[in-house]
Amino acid sequence: MKKPVRSTDEPEQKAPRADRPPTEGFVVIVDGHFKSEFDTVETAEASGRKLKSAYPMLQIEIYDAVTKVRTLLS
């Protein structure tokens, strides 16, 4: 079976690396792993609280990429 040929006019999209912290925005960290990126701290906290209410055993933090500070969501 032949592999599909990639067109040269399509820009290559790279997925963000999971082992490197982002450089901008806010990220929800679940049990020490970077998960979802958000533009504002309010949306990141809302997403984290929704996860925490559904799965209270998870350790959820909000990471500020600019100041490189993690805040535990209680």
55 touches 24 (CB < 8 A): no
Residue 14 domain-assigned (yes or no) = no
Look up residue 49 and give its two tokens.
Answer: 């609280």
The angle subtended at Cα 51 by Cα 35 and Cα 53, nearest 5°, is: 160
How much is the pLDDT for 13? 46
Q: Is residue 19 part of a domain?
A: no
Number of domains in the chain: 1
Calculate the average pLDDT of the chain. 84
The per-residue pLDDT for 57 is 95
| 18 within domain boundaries | no
Distance of CA 44 to CAs 27, 34, 66, Å?
7, 12, 14
Q: In terms of residue numbers, what domain contains 40?
A: 26-72
Over residues 28-57, the mean pLDDT reads 93
Give domain status of residue 17, yes or no: no
Tokens of 60: 């959820």
Give the pLDDT of residue 22. Answer: 78
